[in-house]
Copies of this chain bind each other. A is one copy, B any other.
């Protein structure tokens, strides 16, 4: 496994599939693989996932921004999801062999190009934020496209790159490095969703549990089972085994067991190496112990 990063730009178009197709079409190039496109008509938004070699991914991200700015006019945009730009947010995510600092360098490089060449104001967010109030997307996005015409005049909201005024049709954009998000669910052997909700409350960051974990209890109609549905925002600091064992422990107080767990989408190999390392008491186990990794090292 060579250096790999993922990029997940969100664009403010989820209804016109031809337009989405045109924008997605600019990604294709050596070293980059398109993994997923999800368009939501209600949100009027598309989430595009691609990954590969860092510089090639960065170049593709800029081209997506350029195509979105050309094709999408926010003055005519409606949708359920909050948004402030034609290309609304561009996160760079380390997958393997790449540090967060390297992803921030790419975010800055792409942000500068978007500002200079597309004349769209750019806010560095998440791990790349230069001030604390720009770490969280909802804080930046407050006011949305419409409100940014005036919000950007506030000295506190001067952009990190690009002009100090909202692009007339493309608004502005948040660009930054963030951790890989793992969507991980655990099914309980009960149909009582209140138990799943109580477990979720006890294990999530927002109410006294593990940092970097979001959790809620839901009821699975088809399986007639309660589930603890989670996002793990940093699998390095808060590994899967710790989340799993804590859910199991909290479930135990209700006399409830675990039926099975579920991964939604993909995860980096190291997330599972950390699991094996814990349970096998095998210190320092990493992807460098894999035959596949050794073969792909250049």
Contact = CB atoms under 8 A, between A and B. Distances in A.
Interface of A: 1, 4, 6, 33, 35, 51-52, 95-96, 180, 240-241, 244, 258-263, 266-269, 272-273, 275-276, 279-283, 285, 287, 289-292, 294-297
B276 A260 contact: no
A240 B291 contact: no
A241 B35 contact: no
A151 B266 CA distance: 55
Chain A interface main SS type: mixed
Nearest to A288: B266
Most buried by B among A33, A35, A268, A282: A282
Contacts of A262: 282
24 contacts: A1-B292, A33-B297, A35-B291, A35-B294, A51-B291, A95-B291, A95-B292, A240-B280, A244-B279, A244-B280, A258-B281, A261-B281, A261-B282, A263-B282, A263-B285, A263-B289, A266-B289, A266-B291, A267-B290, A269-B287, A269-B290, A272-B272, A275-B275, A275-B279
A266 B279 CA distance: 18
B282 A268 contact: no
Contacts of A276: 240, 272, 275-276
B4 A292 contact: yes
Contacts of A279: 241, 244, 275, 279
Rank and list the top 5 A-B pairs by shortest CB-CB distance, nearest first. A275-B276, A272-B276, A279-B279, A261-B282, A266-B291
A52 B279 CA distance: 30
Contacts of A6: 291
B275 A292 contact: no
A87 to B, nearest CB: 22
A103 to B, nearest CB: 14
B96 A292 contact: yes
Contacts of A281: 244, 258-261
B282 A266 contact: no
Given A275-B279, A276-B276, A285-B272, A291 B4 contact: yes
A1 to B, nearest CB: 5
Contact of A33 (B33, B180, B273, B294): B294
